[in-house]
C-alpha cells in the first residue's frame, strides 16, 4: 500500500492507494498555519489515522512546496515559509518511524499523470502547473527527474523565449529578474497583462469567461496562448516529450489544447510536432496521488 500526502498552504491531504492505483482511503486536515512542529505532527497523525482505518502499514510519499536543498538537506523555495530552512525530511522520518520520500508538488503532479493519468504509457512527460505560480516537473521512464540542484523542470523562471517588442524586458518577478515565464503565464500574470492592455483590472477567471464575446478579453487570451506556445516550444526543443500535461486553475481553459499546438509549430525546430498537449486526468487529486507514486511497489508493500 502506498500513502501519498499533499502538504499544501491551507490543507494537508492524504490518500492511500492499492497496487493498481485504486483509492483505499482519503483524509484531509487544515494546515497548522505558521507552525512547523504542528505541521509535522499533523502529517504523522494523518498517516496513523489512515493506517488504523485500513489495518495495514504503507510506504509514505510527500509532496511539498519548494524543494529539499541538496546542499543543506533543508527545505528551500517554499511559499509556506515556515518550512524553509527546516529539516522537514528528517523530522517526518523521525515522526513516522520509517523512510519517507519527499518531492516538489509540480513533480508529484507530473508523476501522477505519467503513472496512471493523462500521460500514462508515455516515456518522457512534462507536467506544468499554471496557477498562482508556474511550475514544472519532468518524468522519464516513470521516474521523477530531480537533478543535483533539485530544480529540474523549474521552467517558470526562465525568460519568455522569442519575446515581441512589448514583451521586453517584461514584468518584474519576485525572483529578482524581469520577464520570467511565470510573470506572463500565471493566473495573476494573465490578469496583469489584461490590465496593462488598458482593458481594466479583472481576474483571470473573468477574462477567460469573457473571451470570444468580448474583444479585449479575447485579445488577452490570444496573447496568452501565443506565449504559452513559445514557452512550451522551448521545452519541446530541449526535452522532446511525448506528452505535456497542464494542471492548475488555468488548465481548465479548454481552447488551450487546440490553439496552443496550432501555434507552437512556428517555434519548434522540427518539420512536424508529435508532442501532445493534454488536460490532467486526476485534476486536483494529482498532487496527492503523485506523492503516493514516489515509491515503487514491492513485495509486501
Ligand atoms: Zn522569476
d(CA 123, ligand 1 centre) in Å: 29
- β-bridge mates for residue 127, sequence order: 137, 245
d(CA 158, ligand 1 centre) in Å: 7
CB-based neighbours (< 5 A) of ligand 1, an ion = 157, 173, 175, 177, 180
In whole angstroms, give the CA distance from residue 282 to residue 278. Answer: 12
The confidence score (pLDDT) of residue 201 equals: 93
Cell numbers describing residue 190: 494573465
The confidence score (pLDDT) of residue 175 equals: 85
**pLDDT surpasses 60 at 299:** no
In whole angstroms, give the CA distance from residue 95 to residue 81. Answer: 21
Q: What are phi and psi of 260, to 5 degrees?
A: -70, -45
The confidence score (pLDDT) of residue 301 equals: 42
d(CA 285, ligand 1 centre) in Å: 27
In whole angstroms, give the CA distance from residue 16 to residue 284. Answer: 16
The confidence score (pLDDT) of residue 132 equals: 84
What single string gives the DSSP state of each residue in 259-275? Answer: HHHHHHTTTSSSSS---
In whole angstroms, give the CA distance from residue 217 to residue 235. Answer: 27
The confidence score (pLDDT) of residue 1 equals: 94
d(CA 36, ligand 1 centre) in Å: 26
- Asked, as a colleague might, if the bond just before 169 is cis with ω within 30 of 0, I would say yes
pLDDT in tens, 253-291: 999 999 999 999 999 999 999 999 999 999 889 999 999
Q: Find the angle CA(42)-CA(103)-CA(15) to the nearest 5 degrees.
A: 50
Non-local (6+) Cβ contacts of 274 within 8 A are 242
Question: Is 2-108's fold the same as 118-280's?
Answer: yes
The confidence score (pLDDT) of residue 300 equals: 45
pLDDT in tens, 205-224: 999 999 999 999 999 999 99
pLDDT interval class at 298 (50, 70, 90): low
Non-local (6+) Cβ contacts of 173 within 8 A are 157, 179, 180, 182, 183
86-116 per-residue burial string, b: 16 or more CB within 10 A, e: under 16: bebbebbbebbeeebbbbbbbbbbbbbbbbb
d(CA 159, ligand 1 centre) in Å: 8
Give me the residue spans of the domains in the chain.
Answer: 2-108, 118-280
The three-state secondary structure class of 13 is: strand
Q: Where are the beta strands (DSSP E) in the chain?
A: 2-7, 11-17, 23-30, 59-64, 67-68, 75-76, 100-104, 124-130, 134-140, 143-144, 243-247, 276-278
**pLDDT surpasses 60 at 199:** yes
**pLDDT surpasses 90 at 3:** yes
Task: Please give the CATH superfamily to which domain 118-280 belongs.
Answer: ATPase, nucleotide binding domain (3.30.420.40)
What whole-number percentage of the chain has pLDDT above 70?
A: 99
d(CA 173, ligand 1 centre) in Å: 5
Q: Would you state the CATH architecture of domain 2-108? A: 2-Layer Sandwich (3.30)
pLDDT in tens, 42-78: 999 999 999 999 999 999 999 988 888 989 989 987 7
pLDDT in tens, 174-192: 889 999 999 999 999 999 9
Q: The pTM is what?
A: 0.90
pLDDT in tens, 229-262: 999 999 999 999 999 999 999 999 999 999 999 9
Q: What are phi and psi of 16, to 5 degrees?
A: -110, 130
pLDDT interval class at 8 (50, 70, 90): confident
Mean residue pLDDT across the chain:
94
d(CA 276, ligand 1 centre) in Å: 27
d(CA 179, ligand 1 centre) in Å: 7
d(CA 156, ligand 1 centre) in Å: 7
In whole angstroms, give the CA distance from residue 65 to residue 8. Answer: 7
Asked if residue 29 lies in contact with residue 46, where contact means CB atoms within 8 angstroms, the answer is yes
d(CA 171, ligand 1 centre) in Å: 9
Amino acid at each position: 500500500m502506498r500513502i501519498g500526502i499533499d502538504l499544501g498552504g491551507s490543507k494537508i491531504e492524504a490518500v492511500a492507494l492499492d497496487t493498481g492505483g485504486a483509492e483505499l482511503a482519503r483524509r484531509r486536515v487544515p494546515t497548522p498555519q505558521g507552525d512547523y512542529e504542528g505541521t509535522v505532527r499533523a502529517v504523522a497523525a494523518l498517516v496513523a489515522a489512515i493506517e488504523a482505518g485500513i489495518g495495514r502499514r504503507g510506504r509514505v510519499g510527500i509532496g511539498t512546496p519548494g524543494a529539499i536543498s541538496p546542499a543543506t538537506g533543508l527545505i528551500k523555495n517554499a511559499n509556506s515559509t515556515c518550512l524553509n530552512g527546516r529539516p522537514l525530511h528528517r523530522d517526518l522520518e523521525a515522526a513516522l518511524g520509517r523512510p519517507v520520500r519527499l518531492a516538489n508538488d509540480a513533480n508529484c503532479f507530473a508523476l501522477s499523470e505519467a503513472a496512471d493519468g493523462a500521460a500514462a504509457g508515455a516515456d518522457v512527460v512534462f507536467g506544468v502547473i499554471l496557477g498562482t505560480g508556474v511550475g514544472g516537473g519532468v518524468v522519464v521512464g516513470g521516474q521523477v527527474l530531480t537533478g543535483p540542484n533539485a530544480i529540474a523542470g523549474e521552467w517558470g523562471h526562465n525568460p519568455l523565449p522569442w519575446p515581441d517588442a512589448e514583451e521586453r524586458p517584461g514584468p518584474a518577478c519576485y525572483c529578482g529578474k524581469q520577464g520570467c515565464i511565470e510573470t506572463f503565464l500565471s493566473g495573476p500574470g494573465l490578469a496583469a497583462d489584461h490590465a496593462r492592455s488598458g482593458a481594466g483590472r479583472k481576474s483571470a477567471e473573468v477574462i477567460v469567461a469573457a473571451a470570444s464575446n468580448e474583444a479585449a478579453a479575447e485579445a488577452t487570451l490570444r496573447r496568452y496562448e501565443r506565449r504559452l506556445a513559445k514557452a512550451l516550444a522551448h521545452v519541446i526543443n530541449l526535452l522532446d516529450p511525448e506528452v505535456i500535461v497542464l494542471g492548475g486553475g488555468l488548465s481548465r481553459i479548454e481552447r488551450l489544447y487546440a490553439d496552443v499546438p496550432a501555434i507552437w509549430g512556428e517555434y519548434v525546430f522540427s518539420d512536424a510536432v508529435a508532442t501532445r498537449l493534454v488536460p490532467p486526468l486526476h485534476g486536483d487529486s494529482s498532487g496527492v496521488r503523485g506523492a503516493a507514486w514516489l515509491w515503487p511497489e514491492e513485495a509486501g508493500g
